[in-house]
Amino acid sequence: MYYLIGTDEAGYGPNLGPLAVTATLWRVEDDALSPETLFDALRPVVVTSPGRGKGLEVPIADSKKLHRHGTLEPLERGIFASLNALGLVTDEPVETASLCDLICGPEFAQERRSVIWHTPETEEKLPRDLPRARVAELGSALRETMEKTGVRLCGIRSELVFPRRFNDGVEAVDSKGVFLSDTTLILIVRFWNELLQNVRKKAEVRVFCDKHGGRNFYLPTLMDFFPALPFCVVEEGRAASEYVHYGERIDLRIRFQAKGEALLPVALASMVSKYLREISMDRFNAWWLSQIPGLTPTAGYPLDAKRFREEISEKMQELKIDWREMWRNR
C-alpha cells in the first residue's frame, strides 16, 4: 500500500485574478499498480478524452485538454464526481463561496469573503453546466470503480491566493517560483500531517509536483517545511528533481517534474485549480461589468490585462480601490 499526492496550479502567469493551487490525496492498495497505470486501472469509468464525457464516464485529465470555451461541463463532470465520491457534495446545488470553502478549508475563508468582487450579486449555483441529477450517478460510478481496483481518493485541498496576498508573498521571498513552491508545500504538509496521525502500518507517500518557475533545486524549501525530516537527493536536473526521506513508519518521496498531468493525481489537481480560477474570474468579470456596463471581460493574462487595467483605471480611482487588491505585480 502507498499514498499518492498530486499537485498543480492554475493562474501562475496572469496579472488579474487568483492563483489557484491544488493537491489531491489517493491511497493505492495494490503495490503492483504504479502511478503511471492508475488511469488504466480505473477505465472504463475514468476517461482522459473530453469527447467521451457521456454516460457514466468521468473525465480526469490535464485541464488544458478538458476546458472548453463557453462550458465548464467536462471539468464539472470530473470534479463533482470526485467530490461526491468523497461524500462532500450531493446533487443539491452549491454556491460558489461554499464550494471554495469546502475545497480550500477554513484557513483563509475570511480572505476569500473580503475580496471586492466576491459579493452576493456575483454568487452562482454550481455545477453550472453539468445537470445536477448527474452528480450522484457519476460519483457512485467512480466510487464503485475505485473500490473494485483498490484505489481510493482520500482528499482534495486547494489554495486560492488573491492579489494582495500574492503580492505580499512574492515580495517577501523575491521570487514568484519560490512563492509557488511555498504555497504548494503548505498543502502537501497538511496531507502529510493527516497521514502521520492516521496511518498505522508501514507506508510510503509519493508526491508529484510540476517544476516551479523552471527551478531544479528544491532541497532548501523542503527543509523549511519539513525541518525534522532528513532528505536524500535522488536527482536534480532539468527533467526532474527528486528527494526521499526514509522514516521509521512512513517514507516520503517528493518529485518535481514537467508535464506531471499525465499522472491521475496531478490531472485532478489541475482540473480543480482551473475550475476554481474560472469561477472566480467569472465573479470578477461580473462585478466589473456591474460597475462599467459594456466592459469586455478578461481572462487576466498579461496582454489583455493591460487593456483591462486601462479601462478600469478611472473607476478604480473613483471607488478608491488599492491596486494591490486587484493587480498582481509579477
Query: DSSP letter string over 247-304?
Result: -SSEEEEEEEETTGGGSHHHHHHHHHHHHHHHHHHHHHHHHHHHHSTTPPP----HHH
Domains of the chain and any CATH numbers: 2-280 (3.30.420.10)
Of all residues in the chain, the percent with pLDDT exceeding 90 is: 87
**What whole-number distance in Å separates Cα of residue 73 and Cα of residue 204?**
35
Note the pLDDT tens digit of each residue in 68-81: 778 999 999 999 99
pLDDT at residue number 112: 86
Whether the per-residue pLDDT at 290 is higher than 80: the answer is yes
**What whole-number distance in Å separates Cα of residue 201 and Cα of residue 17?**
42
**What whole-number distance in Å separates Cα of residue 156 and Cα of residue 5?**
10
Note the pLDDT tens digit of each residue in 298-326: 999 999 999 999 999 999 999 999 999 99
Q: Average pLDDT for residues 265-287, to the nearest whole number?
A: 97
pLDDT at residue number 104: 95
Whether the per-residue pLDDT at 251 is higher than 90: the answer is yes
Least confident of 161-170, 211-220, 235-244, 268-277: 211-220
pLDDT at residue number 211: 86
Whether the per-residue pLDDT at 168 is higher than 90: the answer is yes
Beta strand spans in the chain (E): 2-10, 19-28, 46-47, 58-59, 94-95, 125-126, 151-161, 203-210, 232-236, 240-245, 250-257
pLDDT at residue number 52: 52
What's the grid cell of residue 250?
Answer: 512512513
Residue pair 277/10 in contact (Cβ under 8 Å)? The answer is yes
Question: Which has more confidence, 260 or 320?
Answer: 320
Burial annotation 142-171 (CB, 10 A radius, 16+ → b, else e): bbebbeebebbbbbbbbbbbbbbbbbebbe
What's the grid cell of residue 239?
Answer: 527533467
Categorize the per-residue pLDDT at 217 as very low, low, confident or very high, splitting at 50, 70 and 90.
Answer: very high
Q: Average pLDDT for residues 246-268, to the nearest whole number?
A: 93
Q: What is the pTM of this model?
A: 0.96
- What is the distance in angstroms between the CA of the first residue and the CA of the last residue of the chain? 41
Least confident of 53-57, 135-139, 231-235: 53-57
Least confident of 66-75, 84-93, 216-225, 282-291: 66-75
Note the pLDDT tens digit of each residue in 82-132: 999 999 999 999 999 999 999 999 888 888 889 999 999 999 999 999 999
Whether the per-residue pLDDT at 218 is higher than 90: the answer is yes
Note the pLDDT tens digit of each residue in 8-61: 999 999 999 999 999 999 999 999 999 999 999 999 899 988 665 567 899 999
**What whole-number distance in Å separates Cα of residue 33 and Cα of residue 239?**
23
Least confident of 103-117, 188-202, 262-276: 103-117
Task: Report the candidate in 12, 20, 13, 21 with the shortest Cα–Cα distance to residue 187.
Answer: 21
Coil, helix or strand at residue 164: helix
